[in-house]
Structure 1
């Protein structure tokens, strides 16, 4: 293994090892501060970050507003308050070592307001902003305003080219690095485009080499590329070090920091990670964002898959092959199905899936009355956690704060399930994001006999190449 040399990131010489900024409360001030204290770059999640009372008790994010807009304002306030507290914790724990970054999702509700509020309330404590899930053109302006570095997450050279030409060329001095996130291997939301096949992964090297070539054309040959998604141990990436086709490079670890003493996830979640097998992480498109995402294939994912499989196309009038009337709803309003689909629908109804719910695509899905009531309740309780949500049809833009489409019952309330798994023990009935390499916890000798390292121990291990 080649020597791991320091690299200049966010204005300081640090190890080229970055803690990935996972979503709601999964990387926080404690985990990121410990990572920075070990000489790397710690990243806390600024997505609905947790707040605490003066005596250290968690403030659960409950909403009092009667309308979605009112609840959205509460959510923004929660996000700012929590982000400031996490930034302070991270900075204090770092002891002046390493760097502290904040991670946001551009498509989260109120993203610009939240990160602006955090940077205003935690001036000098955050050194960089990492941002993905969308095309964050205005990220550079926010970073420049507060004199912090910005790190856009992209999955192709083409995406960075668009960001640079439209906005980033104006604030090049604050571009700290470009994160290439492998859209087939990363956990959470993935940047697969419509032209890319989710079932045919492409090797990262040629894609990152193309990104470096584009960056060099813009005079960014000294700006680091951050390789993210699918990174387990550096020994497997040794040929990227001191490689002129890749240039200065750092590596982001999202999955491995989950299994540390400082990681805020539950013990049940940590135990589950130690049992995963190859293929247990599922690339799917159930997310209300509309993006692909990678999550553990548990009861939550299985229910969503089965929900979509119990689906048939319908018409409101008899036409073509849709000749068989089928009663739906409390009034028994007729829709028309093909004879084959009508037989399937009757079988689902006999099995207890008696609730037929309409989707925006002219189809019906069949669920139990209990699941139908849960879906409707979650849609009504929407607090606008995304800029646009296909599950609830919320959109944060005036005048009507709607996507203009019907709410989609094939999806789910992402805020609800991520808050529940972050603050509870139920890891089967909630969304458990994970990178596709998580199965390696069970085979890596470092974790033998259920060993869970401290962040410092993990960073030291990674620095050896393993």
Structure 2
């Protein structure tokens, strides 16, 4: 047992201060969460468009039959509630009364509040807590408390927590079980980098977490309420000076990337195989997500294609002005787009390489794509089912008008489509593949040598040694 690691009280149980990261669409389910809880930790069911099962136990494909986005959005919410309820019930059974089961939701997912109400109403007594990030979830405390469930907000700065505390959480302090600090430079998936922070200059998490604890103390929150360190956590021995540290108070640890490579992990085999091949620097912190947030994913051909698409981009003017004196004669038909001489030459070169279609972006630029890419982009935008509260790629918004009021952005992608595809056996080169920046350690850690894939129990036992 690694020194200083002791069980904590959570959800009426004594549990290890080890939390399974919730991750997103179908990357964490009943099998992984139930096993994590059964091993004495806090398992987390992803309640982000979770899978449902038919009577034979087969996954029910999430097919959208309605003609309008608003109606498809309703289908999405029903799928989401039913799937998460089934996952929680199965995880609870697997846990067998040990550990605890949390659910994870993204505040910026479509219908987040309705999904949360729908799931918690039908899983009373099974869910210990709700972790929630990707946005500022002010209503989280109120919703969780109404079902006698704890809440664990995910933040990336003391400032974000202070805003949440002052506006809402101080009114439901007794249900605040922990605050998750997610390192915005190292965590996989969507990250909470603010405009004041430089994505190319990672900051040491220690002073940031110390500031978070000081903010919590200002609010009268006792040190026994843990801060959960998330993002970049691999070995507990790397965090030795955090454990039993009076400056930080109680610390727990969240593991997102390591549990992907377990026998109970629901991700497909080819995704697991790919994890063992990732090299240092191959996880990219990027801005292509339709959420508008930074996010971290493996820099595979899918992501490289998005990078290349954004590089084939030129600004334009609808009238002759300044340096924009040249009429664009490729990629656009019968419309006046004025560009600089250098951009005109670039556009002609891209056109010659097969990127013959110019698509407008919300920033008064044009990106050049192949006819095949254009067809996919337009189809994906038309098929939108409102999986986000606001989507840059399709212009959907969960509002009265159902529009962001901005032009749909062809530099982004349909996140629901790609995450569902990779989670259910799709090509790991042709889909978004989220991972934390420490994923390269699968190659280096002797625990995984000779292709060894542990059970969740074996992984937790290993983690508890410090390794």
Q: TM-score, normalised by structure 2?
A: 0.99
1:51 corresponding residue in structure 2: 52
How much is the aligned-residue C-alpha RMSD, in angstroms?
0.8
Matched position secondary structure for 1:193: coil
Task: Report what 2:429 is aligned to.
Answer: 428
Cα separation, 1, equivalents of 2:10 and 2:251? 10
SS in 2 for 1:36: helix
Q: Provide the rounded CA distance (Å) in 1 between the counterparts of 2:286 and 2:332.
A: 33
Q: Deviations over 1:63-87 (max 9, x none)?
A: 0010000000000000000000000
Task: Output the CA distance in 2 between the equivalents of 1:225 and 1:9.
Answer: 13
How far the C-alpha of 1:403 sits from its partner, in A, is 0.3
Alignment partners' CA distance in 2, 1:158 and 1:11: 31
Deviations 1:374-406 (A, max 9, x none): 0010000000000000000000011x1100000
Structure 1, residues 145-179: CA drift from partner, whole Å, max 9, x if none? Answer: 00000000000000000000000000000000000
Deviations 1:94-145 (A, max 9, x none): 0100000000000000000001101111111111000000000000001110
1:78-93 → structure 2 map (5 Å cutoff):
78-93=79-94
State how far apart, in whole Å, the 1-side matches of 2:73 and 2:175 are: 31
CA contact (8 A) 1:328 1:335 kept: no
Which of the numbers 253, 256, 259 marks the counterpart of 1:257? 259
Q: Is the 8 A contact 2:180 2:228 kept in 1?
A: yes
What pairs with 1:35-434 in structure 2 (closer than 5 Å)?
Answer: 35-221=36-222, 222-327=224-329, 331-398=333-400, 400-434=401-435
Between the aligned partners of 1:394 and 1:12, the Cα distance in structure 2 is 42
Query: Which deviations, in whole Å up to 9, do the C-alpha atoms of 1:226-254 show, x marking residues without a partner?
Result: 00000001000011111111101110000
Cα distance in 1, alignment partners of residues 251 and 5 from structure 2: 11
Deviation per CA, 1:41-81, whole angstroms, max 9, x where unpaired? 00010000000001101101010010000000000000000
Q: For residue 327 of structure 1, give the secondary structure of its aligned residue in structure 2.
A: coil
Q: What is the alpha-carbon distance in structure 1 between the residues aligned to residue 134 and residue 29 of structure 2?
A: 19
**1:328 Cα deviation after fit:** 5.6
In structure 2, C-alpha distance between the alignment counterparts of 1:234 and 1:287, rounded to whole Å? 31
| Cα contact 2:331–2:368 (8 A) shared by 1 | no
CA distance in 2, matches of 1:224, 1:4: 13
Structure 2 unpaired stretches of 5+: none
Paired with 2:228 and 2:63, the residues of 1 have a C-alpha distance of: 36
Deviates more, 1:429-438 or 1:237-246: 237-246
SS in 2 for 1:52: coil
Change (3 A) 1:328 1:111: farther
Which stretches of structure 1, 4 residues or more, deviate above 2 A after TM superposition? 9-12, 327-332
SS in 2 for 1:388: coil
Partners of 2:319 and 2:456 lie apart in 1 by 62
- Cα separation, 2, equivalents of 1:443 and 1:384: 40
Matched position secondary structure for 2:440: helix
1:172 is paired with a residue whose SS is: helix
Conserved 8 A contact 2:20-2:255: yes
- Determine the C-alpha separation between the residues in 2 that align with 1:11 and 1:149: 11
List runs of 5+ in structure 1 lacking aligned partners: none
Q: Is the 8 A contact 1:192 1:292 kept in 2?
A: yes
Task: Provide Cα deviations, 1:394-443, integer angstroms capped at 9, x if missing partner.
Answer: 00011x11000000000000000000000014100000000000000000
In the TM superposition, residue 330 of structure 1 has moved relative to its aligned partner by: 6.4
Distance of 2:241 and 2:271 partners within structure 1: 34
Task: Quote how far apart the aligned CAs of 1:329 are.
Answer: 5.8
User: For 1:436 and 1:98, how far apart are their aligned partners in 2?
Assistant: 28
In the superposition, the TM-score normalised over structure 1's length comes to 0.99
Q: Distance in 2 between matches of 1:371 and 1:5?
A: 53
| CA distance in 2: counterparts of 1:258 and 1:332, whole angstroms | 51
Deviation at 1:220, TM superposition (A): 1.0
Partner in structure 1 of residue 463 of structure 2: 462
Q: Distance in 2 between matches of 1:48 and 1:439?
A: 28
User: What is the alpha-carbon distance in structure 1 between the residues aligned to residue 172 and residue 336 of structure 2?
Assistant: 59
Q: What is the SS of the residue equivalent to 1:208?
A: helix
Taking the aligned partners of 1:3 and 1:405, their CA distance within structure 2 comes to 52
Contact 1:267 1:425 in 2 (8 A): no
Question: Residue 450 of structure 1 corresponds to which residue in structure 2?
Answer: 451
For 2:186 and 2:264, the matched residues in 1 are separated by 24
Determine the C-alpha separation between the residues in 1 that align with 2:237 and 2:333.
Answer: 64
- The Cα of 1:7 is off from its aligned counterpart by 1.1
